[in-house]
Structure 1
Amino acid sequence: MVRFLPLARPWFGLVAAFALLGVALQGVATALDPAPHAYFTSTGARVANVFAFFTILSNLLVGVAHVLLAVDPQRDSPAMRVLLLDAVVGIAVTGIVYNLVLAQTADPRGLHQVANVLCHMVTPLLAVVGWLLLGPRGLVDREVVLISAGYPLAWLAFTLVRGAMIDWYPYPFVDVVAHGYARVAVNCLVVAVLFVGLGFGALALDRRLPGLAAR
């Protein structure tokens, strides 16, 4: 719908800027302050390990998807459909899990705190609100929802295999050493169900909400 074009491009650009800024600041904070990632002894290893976090990957997806939308707010392709749904649902899961489960044990300081607010609060809010108000609409169907579930499943598989190899896990709820495989399996199932449930929720809303129509 043409009437949404003047708002859509700057909004998508703003979301992309906050998402990518949060990732960049987290990388800089990790390079400057080794304390939160002291398990990894070199600066390069600590910075590289930042990208093992679901939060960072989801913010990257949001950044990439919204850069593409800022260039063309009505962009549509099979890859774009999966990318955008993974970005929006992934960042929603990030905000929900962090603020309901992880925030009570987190204690970021300095630049880590700024990155934390951007990645866990600002970007999730802006990305989800932007999708609800602007879309673009018509990009979600059952096949897209099912394909998009590959993202969290691949992350969980990578995290568990890597964790078993190096004895380190990015979040307490996937820490097999602390909780055992049975408890972690249940935790992973909850995250997977939340992700797929939000995907089908997006499917139910997609054609009922106003917004910018994809081509």
Structure 2
Amino acid sequence: MRNARAWHTLTAALTIAALVLQLVLVIQGGRVLDEAEPPGLGLRLARFVAYFTIQSNLLVAVATTLLARDPLRDGPAFRALRLASTVGITVTGLVHFFLLRPLLDLHGADWLADKMLHMLVPVIAVAGWLAFGPRPRVDGRAVAVAFAWPIAWLAVTLVVAGATRWVPYPFLDFRAEGWGSVTVVCLGITALFAALIGGFHRMDRRLAPSRQVGPLTAP
């Protein structure tokens, strides 16, 4: 229990630090995904929240903060939060490594924030889930929420792209890449989510359960 609490505390602290660092850089006009000419502050903040990377890190920060207080936390809302954050941050790390990393040329604090959000947090968050759970915590409702969130994010992102010509990630730019390419990417990411949710669900059942499963409590 003590080791679990320490790990979740560390994960929450590092995730919050990464988010705060990136937020400060955005406010200062730092380069987000290599934007050469950052827009005004209000629009920068709106775009900051629109990134899937930021949303997945925020979910990890909330989930691990709750677990730092109670490593055996449970409840319907928490189960959905925990699964969505774990799957989301895994996708964040994989998509960054394979699709975005070659496109970026960041330095200094921008580079540090990028590596923390896209590499450090995914590694420690997934490692914490594997080592400390808690489990079993994956049920049908959690699976539905974890899958609905990225689908909704994709839909909203594409609608906003159609209305404003801005996309958070270049592989979703249907004007530059074409709808065929973007459709393939969307289907691939959806399939990745489905596979990861299925994998985490299976591991949640097969890995050793937490020593004590307390009563369901709201987050």
Task: State how many pairs are aligned.
Answer: 211
- C-alpha displacement at 1:48, in angstroms? 2.6
How do residues 176-195 of structure 1 correspond to structure 2 at under 5 angstroms? 176-195=174-193
Find the aligned partners of 2:104 and 2:144 in 1 and give their Cα distance: 32
Unpaired segments of 5 or more residues in structure 2?
215-219
1:9 to 2, 5, 12: 5
Question: Is contact 1:15–1:63 with CA below 8 Å preserved after alignment?
Answer: yes
2:114 to 113, 116, 125: 116
Unpaired segments of 5 or more residues in structure 1?
none
**Structure 2 partner of 1:27:** 23
**Structure 1 partner of 2:90:** 92
Please, which moves more after superposition, 82-91 or 188-197?
A: 188-197
- C-alpha displacement at 1:124, in angstroms? 0.2
Find the aligned partners of 2:209 and 2:73 in 1 and give their Cα distance: 14
Question: Is contact 1:34–1:46 with CA below 8 Å preserved after alignment?
Answer: no
Q: What is the TM-score with the length of structure 1 in the denominator?
A: 0.93
Give me the identity figure in percent: 42
SS at match of 2:149: helix
Aligned-residue CA RMSD (Å): 1.5
Find the aligned partners of 2:141 and 2:77 in 1 and give their Cα distance: 12
Question: Is contact 1:23–1:119 with CA below 8 Å preserved after alignment?
Answer: yes
Find the aligned partners of 2:98 and 2:134 in 1 and give their Cα distance: 28
The code of the aligned residue for 1:113 comes to W
The code of the aligned residue for 2:6 comes to P
Cα distance change of structure 1 residues 134 and 211 upon mapping to structure 2, 3 Å threshold: farther
**Structure 1 partner of 2:200:** 202
SS at match of 2:206: coil
Q: What is the TM-score with the length of structure 2 in the denominator?
A: 0.91
Q: Does 1:18 align with 2:14?
A: yes
Cα distance change of structure 1 residues 34 and 19 upon mapping to structure 2, 3 Å threshold: closer
Please, which moves more after superposition, 89-98 or 38-47?
A: 38-47
Find the aligned partners of 1:214 and 1:37 in 2 and give their Cα distance: 47
Please, which moves more after superposition, 167-176 or 106-115?
A: 106-115
SS at match of 1:103: helix
